[in-house]
Amino acid sequence: MSQSFETLLLERRGRVAIITINRPEKRNALNIKTREEGAAALEELRGDDSVGVVVITGAGDKAFIAGADIAEFAGRTALAQRAVMVGRSLFTAFDTFPKPIIAMVNGYCLGGGCEVALACDIRIASETASFGQPEINLGIMPGGGGTQRLTRLVGEGKAMELILTGEIIDARTAFEIGLVNHVVPPDQLEAKTMDIANRIAEKGPVSVALAKEAIKIASRSNLDEGLRREVDLFSLCFSTEDKDEGVNAFLEKRKPVFKGK
Ligand code: COA
């Protein structure tokens, strides 16, 4: 049984859970409540073995997430802002989530919204989506991981240009610089996203989680350390029933049935 939320919708479709940020009248901007509820929804899904993959999107056809709720910035002190970001970090909740998360980007994906997408594992965009880190226009800078994750994903030069100019780019440009995996017409966004989500969700959950962990190590360690960790995680797969099932199913020329054990 799901908790009920004020600012988001949580739906399960087979082994895929869909979180929809539901403040379309504010272009799904992230206020404190949304951050808390987003982290709580992820916590619920973390322990739910019936869920293999999470998709996050925004309600309506205009925005994925148009950033932090700027109205909350007015009059806020530095210490209060730090408490919001450290104590209720939605970005850390995404980053440390063990199952794959796919951003289904249906519109404005700006500031903290772009940082949410960057903290996801795969990004699929509608042709109508747009991306940017416009914080510089407010006299601030990205604070939800944008300077770090965008730089790792698209390289220092492109990250510098986007963050320092605050320029908004279209989905095609985002694809060209490697910010998104796919760009599709708006009416195909959900089908494309669910196709990828379902294909991942039918794999063995333990090997999916270990593979995700190994890939995340790549941008956080040097090559020797990453390769060592990969061997450890690869070897750990050999302790699972799913490894026996996958190998036997191949040898017996049948489809594997994974149990997540
Ligand atoms: N924080 C708070 N409110 C926001 C918001 C944000 N990040 N983004 C949009 N809104 C609100 C608007 O204030 C407006 O509220 P109102 O109807 O009470 O006046 C409502 O959402 C609709 O926004 P509007 O600007 O009229 O819609 P639009 O479709 O013409 O433009 C954007 C959409 C996203 C281009 C524009 O709202 C914008 O530039 N938002 C800020 C983006 C940003 O700087 N994000 C980084 C924050 S750190």
Ligand 1, atom nearest to 111 Cα: 46
Ligand 1, atom nearest to 133 Cα: 46
- Rounded distance from Cα 179 to ligand 1 centre (Å): 22
34-44: pLDDT as tens digits: 999 999 999 99
pLDDT of res. 3: 79
Ligand 1: residue of 27, 35, 140 to mutate (most ligand atoms within 8 A of CB) is 27
Ligand 1, atom nearest to 137 Cα: 44
List C-alpha distances in Å: 253 to 52, 58, 245: 25, 42, 12
Closest protein CA for atom 11 of ligand 1: 26
Amino acid letter at 124?
A: I
pLDDT of res. 118: 97
- Rounded distance from Cα 54 to ligand 1 centre (Å): 26
Closest protein CA for atom 4 of ligand 1: 26
Instruction: Tell me which residues of the chain have a pLDDT lower than 70.
Output: 1-2, 88
Pocket of ligand 1 (CB under 6 A): 26-27, 29, 62, 66-71, 108, 110-112, 134-135, 138
Catalytic residue list: 115, 135
Closest protein CA for atom 33 of ligand 1: 27
Spell out a b/e string for 4-26, using b for 16 or more CB atoms within 10 Å of the CB, else e.
ebebbebeeeebbbbbbbbbeeb
Closest protein CA for atom 16 of ligand 1: 26
pLDDT of res. 9: 97
- Rounded distance from Cα 258 to ligand 1 centre (Å): 45
Ligand 1, atom nearest to 108 Cα: 34
- Rounded distance from Cα 90 to ligand 1 centre (Å): 20
**CA-CA-CA-CA torsion sign (149, 153, 159, 163):** negative
pLDDT of res. 85: 82
Contact yes or no for 123/105 (Cβ under 8 A): yes
pLDDT of res. 1: 56
- Rounded distance from Cα 66 to ligand 1 centre (Å): 6
Closest protein CA for atom 2 of ligand 1: 69
Torsion of CA 212, 215, 216, 217, to 10 degrees: 130
Q: What is the pTM of this model?
A: 0.96
- CA–CA distance, 101 with 109 (Å, rounded to integer): 16
CA 111 to chain centre: 14
pLDDT of res. 89: 81
